[in-house]
Structure 1
């Protein structure tokens, strides 16, 4: 795990890169000033191997995507406020057995993933995919807010330390392939949107066979993340205490904090699964075919500003990339959506009148076409 001295030395070495990148990103940083710090800019540069053009493209998309889903309208200044917002976004938040513990003795942000308490089958059928992404993005930007705040106090580059606990590990976590695919897709989105964020990834209480399976799953994400992973043995409590401090860890991991802070995890109850289900009869749905390596656009004429545009769709098999465009810009960010377990639906407020485009892209598909059944609705303002 890097020391703050090492990280600050890197900042000094790459100061010219940071200055150049700041000039390049000046219009975007004026719009999103919270990202105008040396450490925040360095994260983007490191995540893109100091390719400034790539870093510019990814940073623009990421910050504009967060703005489109309302992230920057939220107060994410504390763990308590972050948790309140996540619970409001998705009613089954407590069944994601992960969470922020707080800062350690070095200023790093400690996270816990109780993977053994995850029930992937019930989770992926309980909510539409876009809500999983939106929930995760809010959570990660909340962590970024906490990191930037602590960096300003300490004057050094920080990040997250993850403790993944495989106690009570069930092989369903890695053998339920639809859930694994969704997890990897989500992990890649978060890696692109929040680069160079993790400084260490511990795995504790892992059976030997589970270690191999976990490596297989995380092989789908960045090599840099793979290099941060460390499997700890039976002495993991002593190691965590030494590196991060007992008063910053729960009792379960050798510290002094109460264990009640953990989310429960487990199987999602059926009444919660049924809460946000939406079904539109097939006879009301229109159909389009999106061939492999191609995309299709559904154009919608919104006649009055401040109208509400809503959509609902089902993809026949696999997944589809979906976004909403207005004058060539994404007003709803592009997410890869699978509807095997739950139809996808959402809505936006159209600030301006004009032609809005629902874009369905199958450019990532090599052979199979995708049949999309969809419904679009426009609700005009009363006045």
Structure 2
């Protein structure tokens, strides 16, 4: 017997069915996003504008499928945490984590944002790794939300607590702010109407400078949900979150080996974890790189042919300045590497994948967002055939 979804109007139901019809192929591949409340979030997030929603939702579904996040086990907070923490060696220096649940069943995430050290963090890993990591944790949170929605039969979401203890103006270092705002825009595009409430705690007066920078890119629904709590923040949190769900550092009674539990507390990244080309076997010699100039409002494609399934496709590139939009597609139309806007100011981009399908693979370097300046890209693309038995 099909469970009826509470709180849906007739208009909601008709719009949800239209989304299912127009995105039937993509939703078959990522079926976890085809439930009523998941599709309702898209409708609310984009004011029920179906023609606007369809390509955006398609982008989310193909991104999750390309990253294979639809196959990950996100059935518990512990499993999400384990998956996310394994994505890179410096993960403990990315502050945050999933705390627990509020009294209504919403998922509570904690971000001790002021514990970030952007000047040592950005030179540590690829920007794509940071994006994939944040997308994975967000999808993990929404998987937990969907599980509770199914159990409780009501629309839920994420509660975000932003702890600004230790905030200083060094956090407003422009390359770091640019990376953070780019990341925020990506997550809002992929997960609309996911946030139920944002609580900002222990915020000094100077935080207003940073908030004024971020405010213009916040979705209009999110702006309305941000609340700055005063000195009684612990009591305010207890009104919506049981102390048993909060670790000691945030006024809770939840048992853990440390006052922070499993929440990552950031800090300065040790020098030995920062990127060193001498320690990267994928770093090519300069003569092995091909140079291409991508003019503003334009793109360049690199097409490689893969004759045998199981071949390894490898790529490496640097952008002379600014950023470039990078993606990989297969001749069948399948998205292999999702569209990411990437800078290589601190760390180059590289990666590899096993080609399940023979055919042509197209690597796209897109500068269509550029208004005036060309981007010089130095790259190497390799196809390595599988070993013969």
Range of TM-score over shorter length:
over 0.9
Structure 1 residue 135: deviation in Å? 0.9
Structure 1 residue 188: deviation in Å? 1.0
Q: Which residue of 2 aligns with 1:3?
A: none
Instruction: Please list the CA deviations of residues 291-310 of structure 1 after superposition, one character each: whole Å capped at 9, or x if unmatched.
Output: 00110111112222221101
Question: Is 1:358 paired with 2:363?
Answer: yes
Instruction: Please list the CA deviations of residues 36-94 of structure 1 after superposition, one character each: whole Å capped at 9, or x if unmatched.
Output: 21101101111221111222211111111111122122211111111211122111111
Instruction: Please list the CA deviations of residues 173-210 of structure 1 after superposition, one character each: whole Å capped at 9, or x if unmatched.
Output: 12x11111111111111111111100111111111121
CA contact (8 A) 1:240 1:253 kept: no
Q: Which residue of 2 aligns with 1:46?
A: 44
Distance between the aligned counterparts of 1:293 and 1:187, measured in 2? Answer: 24
Distance between the aligned counterparts of 1:57 and 1:326, measured in 2? Answer: 19
Question: Is 1:331 paired with 2:336?
Answer: yes
Distance 1:344 1:11, change over 3 A: farther
Structure 1 residue 23: deviation in Å? 3.0
Please provide the CA RMSD for this pair. 1.8
Q: 1:241 aligns with which of 235, 238, 260?
A: 238
The correspondence of residues 253-332 of structure 1 with structure 2, limited to 5 A, is 253-258=250-255, 259-261=259-261, 262-274=263-275, 277=280, 278-327=282-331, 328-332=333-337
Structure 1 residue 243: deviation in Å? 2.2
Distance between the aligned counterparts of 2:303 and 2:27, measured in 1? Answer: 32
CA contact (8 A) 1:105 1:248 kept: no
TM-score by length of 1: 0.93
Q: Which residue of 2 aligns with 1:228?
A: 225
Secondary structure of 1:271's aligned partner = helix
The correspondence of residues 6-85 of structure 1 with structure 2, limited to 5 A, is 9=7, 14-85=12-83
CA contact (8 A) 1:219 1:226 kept: no
Q: Which residue of 2 aligns with 1:101?
A: 99
Secondary structure of 1:260's aligned partner = coil
Distance between the aligned counterparts of 1:30 and 1:67, measured in 2? Answer: 11
CA contact (8 A) 1:326 1:356 kept: yes
Structure 1 residue 10: deviation in Å? 5.6
CA contact (8 A) 2:249 2:260 kept: no
Instruction: Please list the CA deviations of residues 107-163 of structure 1 after superposition, one character each: whole Å capped at 9, or x if unmatched.
Output: 011111101211111111100011111111111111111000000111100001111
Secondary structure of 1:219's aligned partner = helix
Structure 1 residue 354: deviation in Å? 2.0
Question: Which aligned segments of 4 or more residues in structure 1 are displaced greater than 6 angstroms?
Answer: none
Distance between the aligned counterparts of 2:80 and 2:250, measured in 1? Answer: 23
Q: Which residue of 2 aligns with 1:158?
A: 156
Structure 1 residue 27: deviation in Å? 2.8
Greater shift after overlay, 257-266 or 355-364?
Answer: 257-266
Q: Which residue of 2 aligns with 1:372?
A: 377
Aligned residues: 376
Distance between the aligned counterparts of 2:21 and 2:301, measured in 1? Answer: 36
Secondary structure of 1:208's aligned partner = coil
Instruction: Please list the CA deviations of residues 224-264 of structure 1 after superposition, one character each: whole Å capped at 9, or x if unmatched.
Output: 22221111111111111112222222233322124231213
Structure 1 residues without counterparts, runs of 5 or longer:
1-6
Greater shift after overlay, 16-25 or 228-237?
Answer: 16-25
CA contact (8 A) 1:290 1:360 kept: yes
Q: Which residue of 2 aligns with 1:196?
A: 193
Structure 2 residues without counterparts, runs of 5 or longer:
none
Distance 1:62 1:322, change over 3 A: same
TM-score by length of 2: 0.92
Q: Which residue of 2 aligns with 1:4?
A: none
Secondary structure of 2:109's aligned partner = strand
Secondary structure of 1:83's aligned partner = helix
Greater shift after overlay, 204-213 or 26-35?
Answer: 26-35
Q: Which residue of 1 aligns with 2:351?
A: 346
Distance 1:197 1:12, change over 3 A: farther
Structure 1 residue 12: deviation in Å? 6.3
Greater shift after overlay, 108-117 or 310-319?
Answer: 108-117
